[in-house]
Every structure is written in C-alpha cells, then in structure tokens.
C-alpha cells in the first residue's frame, strides 16, 4: 500500500468534501433518505475508492478486484456519490436517487446497478455475505494460484443489535479469514437514539477479540490513521480484522453533527442550502 503524503491527504480531503456536497444535493432532491451516516462515512469511502481499493471503474467486473460489501445499505448515498466521483457512472445520475425507475434505489440493488457487489437492506446480512466471498476465495486458492485481493465489509454499529451478525463474527473467527477486513462505523447513533441507550454495545472491542478477531480502533476522519489501520489489517495472517472507526454522524455540517434525528431524514431546501454553503466555504487545511 502506498503511504499517504500531505499532498495526497489534501487531495482526499477535497474529494471527501465534494462527495459530501453530492450527498446533500441527492438527498434534498429525493426528499427522503439517510443523512447522518452517509456524511459520517464520506472520509472512509473516499480513502478506499481513491487510495486503497483495487478496482477499475472502466471494467467494474474485473475478476481480480477487491470486493466491498456495504452491509448498512441505508447509507448508500455515500456509496453512490463516491462511485460517481470515481467514474462508474455520470454525476448527473445522482439526482435520480430514490426516483421511480432509477438504478439508485434507497438501498443498493445489484440487479439494477451491477457495479455494487451485493444487494442490501435488512441490517446484519452484509458480514455473512462478505464471509461467503472470503471463504470462496480461500477454497479457490486450493486449486488456483492464491489471490491477493481482500474482501472488505462496511458495517454500522446499530446493526450489531442483530443476532445473525454475531453468528457471522463467530464463523469468520473460527475459519481464520485473514482475507476479510470489516470496517465498523462507530458513530454511536441509530434511528431511535444513542446506541448505548437503545442496546449497549460496550465493551465492543473486547467482544470482537473474544470471537478471535484482530481489533484496531481509529478515528474515522483521520486519513493517515485509517490508512495505517488498513495496512496493519493486511499484515495479519492468522485471523480476520475489524477496524472500529469512530466517526461523527453528519460530519461536515455542524447543524447535523451528532444528532441522531438525522439518521433517517433528509434536509429540506433551506437546510440543504445551509449545509452546502458550509461545505463549499470549507477549505482543506
């Protein structure tokens, strides 16, 4: 993995800011959708699509690409915006989010948009899907040259309320899937409030360790630290890795930040204008 220098970090910061603006523009046009998580994960998505992932927008079905599974599909505005900025489809198509007949459904739908790895909607299913991919690659390596790609799974903290997620965590640990790296959006909110009030998750890192995962905790808006965390994960050979990324829901728009009410609503016209002005006025340091 290429080490990040200051020039690259500034480039990523600008790209993440552009992606956040696209997210606001999409949501206000759709008049529905999830704001907080999408804005909060913009830095993580930017780092992956513009620095870490092995992928090719001109050849989306390239066999040797890394796989990125989005388990918490409700934050798909950030996935769509990042893919459009990467060149998978025109930026203008983002304005069709949640419209009748669009490829950009309210949750990713692989049948409509084949550039995404899985369809998602029911929370807690993505890790199981990613484990299937990781196990398939392990099986294939018995008969063909070993692949160097990784299976990444982006998850939410709220979906850890789902029991099948823990079944998947246990299975991955048992099978020592070192080609599987999960990134958990630890933003501490879900639709009904703070995660620690709805269903306490702590001590979260200890729980993952108990299921035989390597655990890394990192700030979810620190490009250098995130990049180093992925590098460390790729160097773990005896178990899967979970990167717990501590993020600010609604990141980039002060009015939205850390307010769980923005988990599942979109801004109105006035709120969107305010948010876009704040984002456009911001300059990378």
Query: What tokens does 51 get?
Result: 């620095």
For residue 255, tell me if it sits in a domain.
yes
Residue 162 has pLDDT above 50, yes or no: yes
The pLDDT of residue 143: 52
Residue 173 has pLDDT above 50, yes or no: yes
The pLDDT of residue 145: 46
DSSP state of 85: H
DSSP state of 256: T
The pLDDT of residue 154: 98
Rounded to 5 degrees, what are φ and ψ at 236?
Answer: -90, 125
Mean pLDDT of the chain: 95
pLDDT band of residue 221 (cuts 50, 70, 90) is very high
Q: Say how far residue 25 (Cα) sits from the centre of its chain.
A: 19
For residue 193, tell me if it sits in a domain.
yes
The pLDDT of residue 147: 53
Three-state helix/strand/coil letters over 94-146: HHHCCCCCCCCCCCCCCCCCCCCCCCCCCCCCHHHHHHHHHHHHHHHCCCCCC
The pLDDT of residue 148: 77
DSSP element (H, E) containing 155: strand 151-156
List pLDDT tens digits, range 116-155: 999 998 889 999 999 999 999 999 875 544 557 999 999 9
The pLDDT of residue 283: 64
The pLDDT of residue 142: 55
Residue 278 has pLDDT above 80, yes or no: yes
Query: CB-based burial of residue 56 (10 Å sphere; 0-12 exposed, 13-18 middle, 19+ buried)?
Result: middle
Residue 13 has pLDDT above 50, yes or no: yes
List pLDDT tens digits, range 90-123: 999 999 999 999 999 999 999 999 999 999 988 8
For residue 251, tell me if it sits in a domain.
yes
Q: How many domains does the chain have?
A: 1
CB 256 within 8 A of CB 230: no
Residue linked to tokens 């990042």: 82
For residue 261, tell me if it sits in a domain.
yes
Query: CB-based burial of residue 241 (10 Å sphere; 0-12 exposed, 13-18 middle, 19+ buried)?
Result: buried
Q: In the chain, pLDDT over 70 holds for what percent of residues?
A: 96
List pLDDT tens digits, range 39-88: 999 999 999 999 999 999 999 999 999 999 999 999 999 999 999 999 99
Query: CB-based burial of residue 138 (10 Å sphere; 0-12 exposed, 13-18 middle, 19+ buried)?
Result: middle
The pLDDT of residue 155: 98
Name the 3-class secondary structure at 187: coil
Distance CA 161, CA 140 (A): 33
CB 23 within 8 A of CB 42: yes
Say how many C-beta atoms besides its own lie within 10 A of residue 41's C-beta: 32
Query: CB-based burial of residue 135 (10 Å sphere; 0-12 exposed, 13-18 middle, 19+ buried)?
Result: middle
* Torsion-angle region of 103 (φ positive above 0: left; ψ -120 to 50: alpha; else: beta): alpha
For residue 1, tell me if it sits in a domain.
no
Q: If we measure between CA atoms, which residue out of 280, 285, 247 comes closest to residue 18?
A: 280
For residues 216-234, average pLDDT: 97
How far, in Å, are 44, 65, 84, 118, 154 from residue 58 at the CA level?
Answer: 22, 12, 12, 19, 23
The pLDDT of residue 282: 84
For residue 274, tell me if it sits in a domain.
yes
CATH of the domain at 210: 3.40.50.970
For residue 59, tell me if it sits in a domain.
yes
Rounded (10°) CA dihedral 211, 217, 220, 221: -170
The pLDDT of residue 179: 96
The pLDDT of residue 140: 87
For residue 183, tell me if it sits in a domain.
yes
Distance CA 201, CA 121 (A): 22
List pLDDT tens digits, range 257-266: 999 999 999 9
Range of the domain at 249: 6-281
């Amino acid at each position: 993995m290429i080490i990040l220098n200051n020039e690259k970090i500034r480039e990523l910061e600008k790209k993440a800011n552009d992606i956040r603006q696209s997210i606001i523009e999409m949501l206000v046009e759709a008049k529905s959708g999830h704001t907080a998580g999408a804005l909060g994960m913009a830095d993580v998505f930017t780092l992956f699509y513009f620095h870490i992932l092995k992928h090719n927008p001109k050849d989306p079905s390239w066999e040797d690409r890394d796989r990125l599974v989005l388990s918490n599909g409700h934050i798909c505005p950030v996935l769509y915006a990042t893919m459009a900025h990467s060149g998978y489809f025109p930026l203008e198509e983002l304005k069709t989010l949640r419209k009748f007949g669009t490829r950009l459904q309210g949750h990713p739908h692989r049948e409509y948009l084949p550039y995404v790895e899985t369809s998602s909607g029911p929370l807690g299913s993505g890790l199981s899907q990613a484990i299937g991919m990781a196990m398939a690659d392990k099986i294939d390596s018995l008969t063909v040259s070993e692949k160097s790609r990784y299976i990444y799974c982006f998850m939410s903290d709220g979906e850890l309320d789902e029991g099948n997620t823990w079944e998947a965590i246990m299975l991955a640990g048992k099978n020592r899937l070192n080609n599987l790296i999960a990134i958990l959006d630890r933003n501490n909110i879900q639709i009904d409030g703070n995660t620690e009030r709805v269903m306490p998750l702590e001590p979260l890192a200890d729980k993952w360790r108990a299921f035989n995962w390597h655990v890394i905790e990192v700030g979810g808006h620190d490009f250098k630290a995130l990049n180093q965390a992925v590098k460390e994960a790729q160097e773990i050979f005896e178990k899967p890795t979970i990167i717990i990324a501590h993020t600010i829901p609604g990141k980039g728009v002060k009015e939205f930040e850390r307010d769980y009410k923005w988990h599942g609503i979109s801004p109105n016209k006035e709120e969107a204008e305010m948010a876009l002005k704040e984002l456009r006025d911001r300059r990378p340091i």
